[in-house]
Structure 1
Amino acid sequence: MAALERQIFDFLGFQWAPILGNFLQIIIVILGLFGTIQFRPRYIVVYTVWTALWVTWNVFIICFYLEVGGLSKETDLMTFNISMHRSWWREHGPGCIRRVVRPSAPGILDDYSYVSVTGCIIDFQYLEVIHSAIQILLSLIGFVYACYVISVFMEEEDSFDFIGGLDTSATPPGTC
């Protein structure tokens, strides 16, 4: 549900890299759930590997919005340099007052405008960091659960008597 919520807001901001990542996250979570229900450990292993990649991606997003290591949130990296769109939260965060200023110079298209945002309770980059931190927390919980489920499935496979009656610890029938 958290990935779906994040997907919606990334669609509103036309951020294509996070949209692709969120889509893969949703698909892999469904695959992991299917693997758990259908007793398919390989699907759960795929989920655990993806979870490690997902945590790495979210750490990158945190570094991106906090401008760690030469990254800049002002670049078009999240849109694959296709458009000038930014985080939806930039203009629509809690408490933000958005003011559109139309250009007065002749010859400038009417569609082009400057947006001034003031009064935000929390800046957009911190909202994006909070979203990524929540994703990391949920992923770590999912990773631990997936490892547990895999170990249970493998334990059940090892203890299953395929032929029947060959359990050496049991007393054969008819003996004392």
Structure 2
Amino acid sequence: MDHYWKHQWETTNPDTAWGKIYNARFGLKWQADFADQRGKLKEASEWAIPGDTKVGRSYLQRMRQHFIDREYCAAGYWDSEKDTNGRLSDNPAGDDSRKAFVELFGLTYLPAKGGTGDHPQPSNPAPVPTPQQPEVQQPPQPADPVQALLQAIHEGAWAERRVSVRPRPPSWM
């Protein structure tokens, strides 16, 4: 799913914009709930704030916390002016938001290519807590490659059977 804070659709107020995007009929909350109910991973394939906004910090903070709280596996920031202006990397008008982005997410987007703004130094974002996974004992692999392949196929089929017993959503989902 992709989503963009655009002043012409939501508002120039980052808190109001966040509420609208988060609580929209098919917004961020809906997306995360939908995925969680079906045991699916969550990803924001593209997201952006207005590249020239000077008040993006609170929106960026909320987005980062949402990604952490709802355990997104991936998110890609739209650092471009094509189709929607989300460019933070070299837009001097958005210096405040760019600095906030780097502080919150690190330099996970294209480095600045120009512009006259003060480009922040690379930083490491605060670590995201990772859930502790129990250590899984792997069965010993047979010495015969054919037996190893058959064992892998059997284990894969068993895993597929375990997955297929979950209720499946209707085909339109």
- TM-score normalised according to structure 1 size: 0.27
Higher Cα Rg: structure 1 or 2? 1
Question: Using CA pairs below 8 Å that are at least 6 residues apart, which structure has the higher relative contact order?
Answer: 1
